[in-house]
Amino acid sequence: MSRRVRRRRVFVVTGATSGLGLATTRALARKGAHVILAVRDEHKARRAVEQITAEQPGAHLEVRRLDLADLDSVRVFADGLRSDRGRLDGLINNAGVMAPPRTLSAQGHELQFAINHLAHFALTGLLLDLLTEGNDARVVTVSSTNHRQGRPLFDDLSGERTYAPMAFYNQSKFANAVFGRELHRRLIAAGSPVRSMLAHPGYTATNLQTSAPVGLVKLLYGRLLIPLAQSPDRGALPQLYAATAPDAAGGQFFGPDGMGELRGAPKWVPLAPAADDAETGRRLWELSERLTAVRFALPAAG
């Protein structure tokens, strides 16, 4: 009698060339997954692949270009996957930008809202049919403790009137949390096998704090507080837990178990009540559909 061959799980990780994304890619590859590195800089991604395969000969890795600051690039990436893959088992919406000077995306949206939320919203919707065919498929949206300080700036999303880098970062992380919960509600309403999960890394030393911020934010987060930060390998544990743990339930939010959720092992942590508000979820969802022109094949929750 022939032995049953176990199917290799397939994950997409955005922002996979450094920090949390690289740590997540390395950990998934170590467990035998096929990982698609969704990246803007393909040369940098190939160096990351060389690094991982040197550590793990035979690792299954694939590089595909994705510029999250351009929704046209999101569509091209998704179309490419849909043309040559029949399923996905996980989408880890990890990439992000933090507190840059006011900048607009290719479609004219404020950059943090565009990259951190809108692009991942669009990517999830465009890949949902592949995830539906997956094995225990999950969408993991990476938020932050800063979501608790955020609020929806519906009346000035582009920051044209008043732009404050950290306020708009907090808003984008709030949007991540709202999206993850609203996606969970809609997946449940549709009877979908896909699970929507949320995670945050606590305070982790990555180039997020140094590549985009300027002034006091860069000094504070990129230099003065760095000694308190944990490594990317530790910071990636909550999103890895959300993506793979058998006991992780849809709609849950995972972060570090240490003081202030800054560092430690992954555990369930609470969302800000405002991020779990169904009316806010509906409003953000409809706005995101309009701004991205991506509509999910899911009914509204409730």
Q: Tell me, what amino acid is at 127? A: L
Per-residue tokens: 130: 């592949």
What backbone torsions phi and psi does residue 267 show, to the nearest 5 degrees? -150, 165
DSSP β-ladder status, 138-142 and 90-93: parallel
Alpha carbon 120 to its chain's center: 7
Alpha carbon 172 to its chain's center: 12
Query: What is the residue-wise DSSP string for 24-62?
Result: HHHHHHHTT-EEEEEES-HHHHHHHHHHHHHHSTT-EEE
Catalytic residue among 169, 203, 221, 241: 169
Give the Cα separation of 281 and 50 in Å (integer). 41
Q: Which of 45, 95, 44 is nearest to 68 (CA)?
A: 95
Q: Is 221 a catalytic residue?
A: no
User: Catalytic amino acids?
Assistant: 169
